[in-house]
A and B are shown apart, each in its own frame.
Chain A
Amino acid sequence: MIEEIFASGHSFIHKIDPRCRLVAATLLCFVIALGQKMPVLWAGLGLSVILVLWARLNLVHVFRRLLVIWGFLLFLWIILPFTYDGDVVRQIGKLGATRQGIGLCTVISIKSNAILLMFIALIATMDFSTLGYALNFFKIPEKLVQLLLLTYRYIFVIEQEYRRLVRAVKLRGFRPGTNMHTYRTYAYLCGMLFVRASARAQRVYNAMKCRGFSGRFICLHEFALSPADKIWTLAALTVTVCLIFMEITL
């Protein structure tokens, strides 16, 4: 099932104005992604852990999300130290692990974990439509915002349709395996999904027109900044500036 598991919560982070969170997350993610100095990266990781804890998220879910990137990181750790040029620090058979390679892997691991946690704490804690409205506020082209909100609206409907198709093939005794029949079945299933989606799209568009859709979405969501929002944003900006300062001076 497609679910927004982090979006519903009542922590302080959840209550902060989405626009502030969006700005803070973007700035902090970029500072961490572009940072070179180890103290900055460790500080970034620490900060994102604090934010995740502050958002009082279900840590098991957070851990599961981290596992996905750890798979990729493991792949890097297996290849990179042995193929990177530099001083060999440990010899395993014919392969030598280099200090520079291990260093690079460490940097990448810290960065990706820190950015992912930051993203979970600040962005995944708002539901997607709120994100759409926040983007609308930042003057993202209107067509893109419409496309975004409508796509979001329909993934759940289409997913239902997908489940119905899967149920239908299962009832007919379908068992996936590595064979042509499986690939053909899945391809037809996708094709059917597109056919149904397109028929639904026509109905949706007709219904929208009947209700006077003029090609413009009017945003009914009103944002208001509370004093707490302002203080939090100011703090987040200060931390960002501190990280940049550390990066330059250290």
Chain B
Amino acid sequence: MHISEGVLSAPVLGAGMALAFAGTAVGLKKLKEDKIPRTAVLSAAFFVASLIHVPIGPSSVHLILNGILGLMLGWIAFPAILIALLLQGVLFQFGGITTLGVNTVIMATPAVVCHYLFAGFVHKPKAISYAASFACGFLSVFFSSLVLGTALMFTQESFLAVAWAVVIAHLPVMFIEGLVAIFCVGFLKKVQPELLPKWSAARQQNTLAV
């Protein structure tokens, strides 16, 4: 989800840059030096996964996956998404320099929010875990479209209709992201649960329960 260049006003661009700077600073602070290669390879995986086009009716949408990214990386999602956007800019020329800050905030803030909302629930029993995963995938895209809409509204109040259109256009994407999140989290729980957050705490609880 991007805002093109040349749409937003100076204050909004400035605010986006300041917020992205702050978020990235927190993320980098939390990123231990020995975790850099790991984070980089995972970000690369997310970058590639976001190129997957999923069919929906006659058209197709590409996966965003910022919910799962947030779940796995927490605050580190900020630098990871900043880099992914920069890569998209240089490799495919989606988005560019002036909107880098705003677009990072649009994608990364919901990722961090979803981490804090849902990280505690993914290791719970089936139904709760499914619900949390779906909400994580769905809401991450929903929040992103809201932030995008807000950025448009702060630029010019006449963008209201456009902002609504953006949110509505992303509704199918939200459902798909929710479904993909359920299956993806379920898969990771079976195959490599330590990739998901709070695994050690959940394991301890499980062994105590047994």
Q: Which residues of A contact B (CB under 8 A)?
A: 2-4, 25-26, 29-30, 32-34, 65, 68-69, 72-73, 75-76, 79-80, 83-85, 101, 104, 107-112, 114-116, 119-120, 123-124, 128, 131, 141, 143-144, 146-148, 150-155, 157-159, 161-162, 176-178, 180, 182-184, 186-198, 200-202, 204-205, 208, 215
Contacts and interface: CB of A to CB of B under 8 A. Distances in A.
A183 B91 contact: no
Given A29-B98, A158-B45, A195-B188, A186 B90 contact: no
A79 B156 CA distance: 14
Contacts of A200: 41
Given A69-B4, A178-B55, A79 B87 contact: no
B26 interface: no
A143 B195 contact: no
Contacts of B39: 147
Given A111-B6, A112-B6, A150-B41, A79 B184 contact: no
A123 B83 CA distance: 15
23 contacts: A3-B91, A4-B90, A29-B96, A33-B5, A80-B159, A101-B158, A112-B7, A119-B89, A147-B43, A151-B87, A154-B40, A154-B41, A155-B44, A155-B47, A155-B48, A162-B48, A162-B49, A177-B55, A178-B55, A183-B183, A190-B52, A191-B191, A198-B38
A119 B184 CA distance: 36
A180 B162 CA distance: 31
B183 A151 contact: no
Contact of B93 (A72, A119, A192): A119
A184 B86 CA distance: 30
Contacts of B56: 178
Given A109-B6, A131-B90, 15 more contacts: A75-B162, A112-B4, A119-B93, A124-B93, A146-B40, A151-B41, A152-B87, A159-B48, A178-B56, A186-B52, A194-B195, A195-B192, A198-B41, A200-B41, A201-B41
Nearest to A141: B28
Given A186-B54, A195-B191, A83 B42 contact: no
Q: How large is the interface on B (under 10, 10 to 19, 20 to 34, 35 or more residues)?
A: 35 or more
A119 to B, nearest CB: 4
Contact of A123 (B63, B97, B158): B97
Given A73-B4, A128-B91, A197-B42, A150 B97 contact: no
Interface string B149-177: 00000001011111001000000000010
A29 B8 CA distance: 13
A76 B7 CA distance: 10
Nearest to B133: A187
Contact of B28 (A143, A208, A215): A143
Interface in B26-68: 28, 31, 33-34, 36-45, 47-49, 51-52, 54-57, 63, 65, 68
Given A84-B158, A193-B49, A198 B195 contact: yes
Contact of A147 (B72, B79, B90): B79
Nearest to A191: B187
Contacts of B144: none
Contacts of B49: 162, 190, 193-194
> Counting chain A CB atoms within 10 Å of each CB, which of B55, B82, B97 scores highest?
B97
B180 interface: yes
A119 B191 CA distance: 42
4 shortest A-B CB distances, which residue pairs? A111-B6, A187-B183, A150-B40, A191-B187
